[in-house]
Amino acid sequence: MTSPSPAPVVGVGTVVLKGDAVLLVRRAHPPRAGSWSLPGGKQQWGETTAEAALRELFEETGIQAELLGVADVVDLIDRDEAGAIRFHYTVIDYAARWLSGEPVAGDDADAVIWATEDDFDRLGITPLARQVIAKAREM
């Protein structure tokens, strides 16, 4: 019997908007530890992607939000120097509107902030994250 082939891990992200600001977290763990990005994580067995997005958002930031819909779906594939895949996440990013709570870093985040587009260069927000945030703003 052959072993099953590897499969991408389903992840979720949430673009929480509050006026002109978007909620960002600084990752505490690999991959991308120390970098600023959208709150999110892995979907759990038996959980819808929407439930996962709201759970991860609350665990990482203490924020409650209303999901507006899917902003984008992206594949994050990281390869080593030889071209072998180190990880592959398929991430479903939701647009959301802030409902309540003050941001407090928790779970997989070591910091959390409300940021405006003027902060993105200083924080090193990736072009892909900027694209997802722009799509969420359109919703």
- Alpha-carbon Rg for the chain, nearest whole angstrom, is 15
For residue 1, pLDDT beyond 50: no
Cross-strand pairs, 18: 21
pLDDT at 3: 47
Convert the pLDDT of each residue in 6-60 to its tens digit: 889 999 999 999 999 999 999 988 777 889 999 999 999 999 999 999 999 999 9
Closest among 78, 93, 96, 74 to 32, alpha carbons compared: 78
Adjacent-strand bridge partners of 97: 17, 66
Task: Write phi, then psi, for 124 (nearest 5 degrees).
Answer: 70, 35
Angle at 43 between CA 5 and CA 107, to 5 degrees: 120
The pLDDT assigned to 103 comes to 95
What are the sequence ranges of the domains in the chain? 9-138
pTM of the predicted structure, to 2 decimals: 0.90
Greatest extent of the chain over all pairs of C-alpha atoms, in Å = 55
pLDDT tens-digit profile of 109-120?
899 999 999 999
Average pLDDT over residues 99-110: 90
Q: Does domain 9-138 have CATH number 3.90.79.10?
A: yes
